Structures are given as structure tokens and as C-alpha cells.
Structure 1
């Protein structure tokens, strides 16, 4: 089985695209931690047969909620990884964001050597346009030096690098075999010292990134990032955008007053030349909802076991699951969780009540 772990704050249509796309693209079950969300989103996730939803409110963080979104994401992903290490069935867990969709050929995943502990998914990034009729289906792929130099010469990008072509990350995302001595970061699988582990790659293993694919999504995404806590570390190419948006939002303008300036920032920093990229054969056309994967069933009792453990770990301090902490610290928490009392009914009610 392949599971994903995600920390999400988004609208219902985007969450529906995330769930539908990931299940069609290769995932068997999604674990979603709601960083915040309205009742409509919670109801959709709670009722979905292939989703486990946990609301990360005060009862999850016990008044010690990490200020940085990136820290909350890492902790939540590694909680899932640790719990799955003692549950029958799941073989892989991938850390993906709410604007990312797996495109995992399960036959290719089955070919990964048993000794390999990390799989890396190459990114495909949605082409940014002022607006789309529905969800985007054209995606940029990582390019070689020749194509990047061509785009630079044509004035499509300002330097010959994939960091100039992509507006989001170029690192892709990783999945690991559940164990306590390997950690998921935002993009990598690492050991106890934070050293990146060797990862298996394959052209059939990739992920779609809906990074600021429209003017509207650009505004939504960046205002959400800036409201999520202290500004995260952005790669140099994107940091000026974050600083500019932060300054604009700090002007106290109304939404109507700010919108034209937000769109100007989008057009100057993010809008892509779809026609040129497509004409030159540098794009990939993908409809994630058209995937044919059918989610596999859990072994008997395994989902109940996992959700019971999730209910129990809610009462623990979860910072020991952050990358960089010793495996022994996470093991101590896991030992308490596995050995503690509490019935299945109590665990399920915690998840639903969340």
C-alpha cells in the first residue's frame, strides 16, 4: 500500500482535486491533517472512504503549536511514518502538499529494490496563466541546458536554470519505507544526521505541482503563506516575491484596492508563456483525474489499528518526530502509544470529532 501524509488549509474544490487526483494517480489512502478548514471541507474528508482526517487544533498541539508551517508539516508527516512502521500493509508513505498530486506508476514502484528506502518523484509544474477554464492540464518539466538556454535567448526566462522556469520547488517529493530511522523532510528522505539518503528515481514516478497556476490561485496561495506564521525560507528566486507581497499586504489596503497590485506582481513574476513552451514541445499534458489507479484495501483490521494509534498519539508531545531528533526519542513515544490503553471506538470518535 502507498499512503500520503499532508498538512492542508484550502478550499473545498482544491481539496476535492487533491483527493481525487492522488487516488487516481497511485495513492491507496490519504492522511490529511487540517491546519485549518471549514466544516464543509471536514465533512468531505471525514466521509471519504480513502481518507483519514485529523484536525490539528489545540487538542493536537496542546498549546505548543509550532509557529512555522514547515515544522508542522514535517512533524505530521513523520508521525504518520512512525505509526505505519507498526501497522501491517503500508509499504510507502509520501509527504505531499495540498497543491500536489502523485503520478506514480505502481508497476514502476514495485520494481524498486527491497533494500532501497527512499523514492524520489520528479516535479511537473502547472503552467501559470491569468485564468484557466477548469483545472490546468499543461505542465512544465525539468529541462536540460540546451532548452533552458533557448528559452533565455527567446526572453521566456531570465537565466538558464530550472529555478527560473519553475516558480515553486524543483526538488520534487519523496516517499520512504515506514521506519523510525529515516525521516521525511519537505522534499527528501534523510537519516538521523539530516543527510540525504540515496533515492530511487524513474521517469514513471513523478508528481504534479499546482503552483500559482492562475492569478487567483497566486493571490490565494501567497496570502495564505504569509498568514500561516513566520516567513519560511524561500529559494532566492522567490524571496523577493514574498517580501513584496508581505509589504503590499502590510499597507492595509482593502481587498478591492490590493487586487490590481497583486495581479501586477503575478504578471511580472509568475505568468508563463504557454504558447511558446507548448510550440517548442517543452510541456507535458496531463489530466490527473483521468488516472486509472484503484486504491488497494487495507489488510483486515489495519486501518482501525492505525487510526487507534493516531487517536492515542494525539495526547503526546509530537516534536520528537521532527527530523533531527534521535530515533530513540520517537521510539519512546511510539512505545507509549502502542502500549497504552484505549479502545478502537475511542480512537474513531477522536478522528471524527476532529
Structure 2
């Protein structure tokens, strides 16, 4: 069976779509960690999740869940929850794969493609397909951007559709995709990658039939809602090109401004940074048409005995300290350290120039 793990705080409507779309797209069972179960609307979300047989809803309260202290960073909480989920599933033979996805993502898991993964492969890559963003769409988008080659990126750059010919400029969200691992392999999950228990990156199996739909900011309204929620969720890491926007949004949200003023400038940031030229992309043949709720795959729910065993193990592991489930990505950490070193050297050189010292 194919299982996902996700740390979520979202509206009941968005969570309902998230669950229905994933279960229609090949996921057999979902482990959903409610990141802020006491926030407004989250009790309704929890009740909805509890009513779905193919979902295990886990409330991550400060005392009952984070017994050794709740991490302030959202990314840290996501990693710990995902690797706790791997430990949860490890004894169960029916748990073939565990994928770490976000609450605005849908794992497109072609079951034939999964069945063809070589036995020696312990990790799978899901490349990102990003939903287009329009200011006021009538419905949830069904057109998606895919990662482009250098020729198409150069074309969009010359047409002034993107600021530079890179997928990082083309996509508003991540370009790293998501990963799945075999729970019994002993390996670990990061936000996007698959790791050994020691933090080394694993080689991942790839198949064009597999991917993850990312509904990063599908409208101006959703862009505003998402970033206001992220501002309350604690520190999160963003790639370098998105850091100025993230900082500007946090600054704007924190200011004591009339609501209509804040909303107007949030919408302006959306128009400048996230709105897609959907007509242009469509004319150039760069968009995929996908609706995860069309032609849903047959449901494969857990057998009653397996469901009871899973619920019992959730209770068994609930109070286990969670910080031990954070597995650091050695490659990413080295890159951050190198970047910090370069920044310190650059600052030192600048200071010496200003003070006239050699």
C-alpha cells in the first residue's frame, strides 16, 4: 500500500480537497498531522479527517505530542512528523512506500509505475507539476507547469515572462519535488529528499508517470491566506530567490495597518511575484491539463485488523520524544555552512574597505 505523511494547517475546504484528490490519485492511506489543532477551524478539520476511513488524523498538541518541546520551525516539525511516520509503519508488511507531501500537494502515484520500481531501489522521486496562478479563477486550476529545458526557459526569458532563464524563476514554489521511501528500509525523509539514517542523500528512482501536483498559490486570495498562515507557523527556509519576497510579506503582515491597506499591498506583491501569464504559456504548449478528481483510482482501504493494529501503534508511539526523528541533510547543511562562510568573508572584506584596512 502507498501511504503519505503530511503536516497540515488549512481551511476545511482545502483539506477536504487535499484528502479527496490524493485518495483519487493512487494514495491508499494518509497520515495527517494537524500542526495547530487548537486554532479556529481545526476541530472541524479533525472531525472531517476522523470520519475518513483511509486517513489517520494525528493531533500534534504541545503537551500530548511534543513531549520534549515543540520546535519553533515549521520545517523541523514537518521532518520529525514524517520520520515518526516511517517508524510507525516499519513493522507493517502492507506499508510498501511512504511519501512526504505538503497540504497543498497531490501525489500522482501511477500504481503500475510503482510496481515496476526495482527491488534494490529504496527511494522514489516525484517531480513537481505546479498549478498556474490566476488572480480570480472560477474554479481550482487544472493546468500545470512542468520543469522546462534550457530552450523553453530562454524563450520565456526573452519574452519577458520570467526574470531569468531558470526553473527557479519559472516556478513560484519549490522545484525539488518530493520523495518516497520504503518504510522498512530504515532510511529517512527530509522536506524534499530521501536520506540514509546518517543524513546522506539517496539515489531516487524516476519515472515520467510519477509526480506531485503543487497548488502553491492558485489565486490572489489563496496567496494572501497562505502567507498569513506561514507568518504564524514559525521560521521556515526558502530558496535564495524567494527570500526577499518572504521577508517583505512577513514585514507587511506584522505591520499595524488598516486591513484594507494590508490587503491591497499583499495583492500587489502577488501581482508582481506570482501571477502567471496563462494565455502565453498555453499558446506555447507548455501546460499540462490534469484534474486529480477525474477518473479516480479504485480505493484500497486497510483491512480491519490492519487498521486496528495501526491505531494501536499510533497510541504506543504517541508520547515518544520527537526530536530524535529529525535527520539532518548533510549535503544541504554543508551548502548552508559554505554560504554562511562566504557571507562572513564578504562582510569582512566590505568592513575592511570601509575602514581603510587591508
- TM-score w.r.t. the length of structure 2 is 0.88
2:54 matched residue in structure 1: 50
2:29 corresponds to 1:23? no
Distance (Å, rounded) in 2 between the aligned partners of 1:225 and 1:108: 34
Q: Give the secondary structure class of the aligned counterpart of 1:277.
A: helix
1:350 matched residue in structure 2: none
Gaps of 5+ in 1: 326-354
2:228 matched residue in structure 1: 223
2:93 corresponds to 1:94? no
Distance (Å, rounded) in 2 between the aligned partners of 1:324 and 1:10: 27
Instruction: Give a deviation string over 1:85-107, Cα, whole Å, max 9, x none.
Output: 10131100000000000111100
Shift of 1:223: 1.1
What is the root-mean-square deviation of aligned Cα atoms in Å? 1.3
2:256 corresponds to 1:252? yes
1:278 matched residue in structure 2: 282
Shift of 1:304: 1.4
1:235 matched residue in structure 2: 239
Shift of 1:324: 3.8
Of 153, 173, 179, 1:148 maps to 153
- 2:68 touches 2:321 (CA, 8 Å); kept in 1? no
1:159 matched residue in structure 2: 164
Gaps of 5+ in 2: 330-358
- 1:102 touches 1:207 (CA, 8 Å); kept in 2? yes
2:182 matched residue in structure 1: 177
Q: Give the secondary structure class of the aligned counterpart of 1:222.
A: helix
> Which is further off, 143-152 or 306-315?
306-315
Shift of 1:75: 0.7
2:136 matched residue in structure 1: 131
2:116 matched residue in structure 1: 111
Shift of 1:295: 2.5
2:74 corresponds to 1:79? no
Instruction: Give a deviation string over 1:18-48, Cα, whole Å, max 9, x none.
Output: 0010011110011101012422111100101
Q: Give the secondary structure class of the aligned counterpart of 1:289.
A: coil
| Moved beyond 4 Å, runs of 4+ | none
- 1:79 touches 1:321 (CA, 8 Å); kept in 2? yes
Instruction: Give a deviation string over 1:132-186, Cα, whole Å, max 9, x none.
Output: 1121111100000000000000000010000000001001000000036310101
Alignment of 1:29-48 (within 5 A): 29-37=29-37, 38-48=42-52
2:228 corresponds to 1:194? no
- TM-score w.r.t. the length of structure 1 is 0.89
Shift of 1:255: 2.4
Distance (Å, rounded) in 2 between the aligned partners of 1:245 and 1:321: 31
Shift of 1:252: 1.1
